[in-house]
Amino acid sequence: MPTAGIRFLRHCRPRFVQVYPVTRLYTKRELLQDASAAGFGLLLSSSPGVGNVTLFTPQSPSFNQLRQGFNERIDKYPKVIAVCHNANGVTDAVNYAAKNRLSVAIRSGGHSFEGFSCNNGGLVINLSQLNQIEWLNSTTVRVGPGVTLSHLYDALLPHKRIVPTGSCGGVGIAGLALGGGYGFFSRSYGLTCDSLLDVTMVDSRGVVHRGASEPDLLWACRGGGNGSFGVVTEMVFKTHPAPSSFRSYRFKLGGLDGPKAAHLLENWFTLAAELPRSCFSAFVLNSKGLVILITDFEAPTPQLRRLLERAGSMARSSSTGRPQNLAAALKVYYGRPGPLSFKNSSGGMYRGFDDVRGCAVAMLNLVTSHPGLMYQVNTLGGSIADPGFGAASCFPHRSRPFLSELQSYWSTPAQEANLHKAFRQVQNLLLQNGVTAHYANYPDLEFTDWQHAYYGASYPRLQAIKRRYDPGNLFQHEQSVRA
């Protein structure tokens, strides 16, 4: 299949290159056929005969599919979608947008909760074809923004290496890392952005920058780089030794109301704070009941066994962790392919149970009485709190070892309206209880002070960086950094 990736292979030393085929939506040939057949697609090229980027307008047959992200609830109509076939195509698309006064949204994996990678009436830069993975040496990889987490695991695990990323296979490495990025390995190796060594970025004037020689830019891209400063066309990551096996322990309990669930949540916070760094845990509550997940990639220590017993005593049923091959174990968490209709957002970044003590019963009453609503708290902490990582990145919430996520899923409009109301009630309870720190990759359009919520004291420096790379606000979405 002729893809941009295969062309890349010819230009690199094969020994170090692994190229992964485009698995999402289109091959380059299909894109070109669609553009020419429709008669509306415009091929832009800086060298004659080579298409760097294909522009799609609403009349193109592929347009509707191309504008659709992972969240089916989001329904935006850009004026133009620019599918870039290489980095020159990104520069061409940026210059085209600037010349035609179109604001730019940037799409890599398309998993933004609030659809920040699409816009109304502007230009969307689609990077799905920039999906190469190249080993620079035995521990460092260069990754295109179109690479998804499952592609990355597929490329790294045979070399017994990992980058600490998230769990869902279809999420884009670019959006995830630029907003922070956490998952099963973060408590040992840090956030995804802490392994980010370099970025290549096209700014609003079409100028290419390197993070390795522009420290402010790299600092901003480690947690605050989503769609605000320019288009990241390449990322270089440090890799880490991959564990040989992985264990998942699940503890379940049904029949819960607010008071019972709040009591269990407090116990879980105490237990989770004592987990070794090789472990991840999640408290997952909905109307059906509670699941406590604990994962580990080391052999269980006596300390962990004691904690597992404590978790078992909180539950009615449990499944104990058989050691599994890492690649197979991770696939269990890849999730559904989508698109899906949902409303998810951060439910706050906490220091501990005290942050939610005042609203836990009322909040969990709402969760347990509304089918489709889900409240989850995940462990962060461990290496994420290392001071070196803090100084090198704009991610401001390292002293908060817990991240909560509020989720809602529906199948009818009536259910959606009911869930929306309950969702807002939970968010209001959290706000009234002083929960104001949130994860930028779990955005909510209704966070009023989102600048402080996502970036804390880093925001003024991010604004200065915005003035340097995008003074005219070409790159924007509803919650992008404003100069």
Nearer to ligand FAD, 232 or 435 (CB): 232
Q: Least distance in Å: CB of 479 to ligand FAD?
A: 8
DSSP 25-69: S--HHHHHHHHHHHS--EEE-SBTTB-SEEEE-TTSTTHHHHH--
> Residue 38 or 157: which CB sits closer to ligand FAD?
157
DSSP E strand stretches across 131-191: 132-137, 140-143, 161-162
Q: Residue 155 is inside which H or E element, if any? A: helix 149-156
Q: Output 88 or 365, the one with its CB closest to ligand FAD.
A: 88
Q: CB 250: neighbour CB atoms within 10 A?
A: 17
State the nearest-atom distance from the C-beta of 246 to ligand FAD, in Å.
Answer: 15
Cα distances (angstroms) measured from residue 477 to each of 100, 118, 397, 444, 461:
18, 8, 23, 13, 19
Give the distance from CA 95 to its chain's centroid.
27
Phi/psi of residue 250, each to 5°?
-125, 135
For the bound state, the minimum distance from the C-beta of residue 236 to ligand FAD, rounded and expressed in Å, comes to 14
Distance (Å, whole) CA 299 – CA 199: 36
Nearest residue relative to ligand FAD (C-beta): 175
The radius of gyration of the chain from alpha carbons, rounded to an integer in Å, stands at: 22
> What gap in Å lies between CA 439 and CA 220, rounded to an integer?
15
Nearer to ligand FAD, 145 or 300 (CB): 145
When the beta carbons of 110 and 347 are compared against ligand FAD, the nearer one is 110
Q: How far is the CB of 93 from ligand FAD (least distance, A)?
A: 12
CB of 428 to ligand FAD, least distance (A): 23
Q: Rounded to the nearest whole angstrom, what is the least distance from the CB of residue 104 to ligand FAD in the complex?
A: 9
| Long-range contacts formed by 133-139: CB under 8 A, 24+ apart | 133/18, 133/19, 133/20, 134/12, 134/16, 134/17, 134/18, 135/16, 135/17, 135/18, 135/159, 136/16, 136/236, 139/238, 139/239
Closest separation between CB of residue 452 and ligand FAD, Å? 18
Nearer to ligand FAD, 40 or 333 (CB): 333
Which C-beta is closer to ligand FAD: that of 126 or that of 365? 126
CB of 361 to ligand FAD, least distance (A): 28
Q: Cβ closer to ligand FAD: 305 or 420? A: 420
DSSP, res 284? E
User: Which of 166, 167, 127 lies closest to 143, judged by CA?
Assistant: 127
Least separation in angstroms between CB 13 and ligand FAD: 25
What residue ranges bind ligand FAD (CB under 6 A)? 69-70, 105-113, 116-117, 127, 145, 166-168, 171-172, 174-176, 178-179, 181-183, 225-227, 231-232, 335, 441, 477
> Is the Cβ of residue 225 or residue 300 nearer to ligand FAD in the bound state?
225
The least distance separating ligand FAD from the CB of residue 226, rounded to whole angstroms, comes to 4
Closest CA to 188 of 235, 237, 242, 137: 242
How far from 104 is each of 121, 124, 141, 199, 225, CA to CA, in Å? 10, 6, 28, 19, 14
Strands 231-238 and 196-202: what pairing?
antiparallel
Which residue, 78 or 227, has its beta carbon nearer to ligand FAD?
A: 227
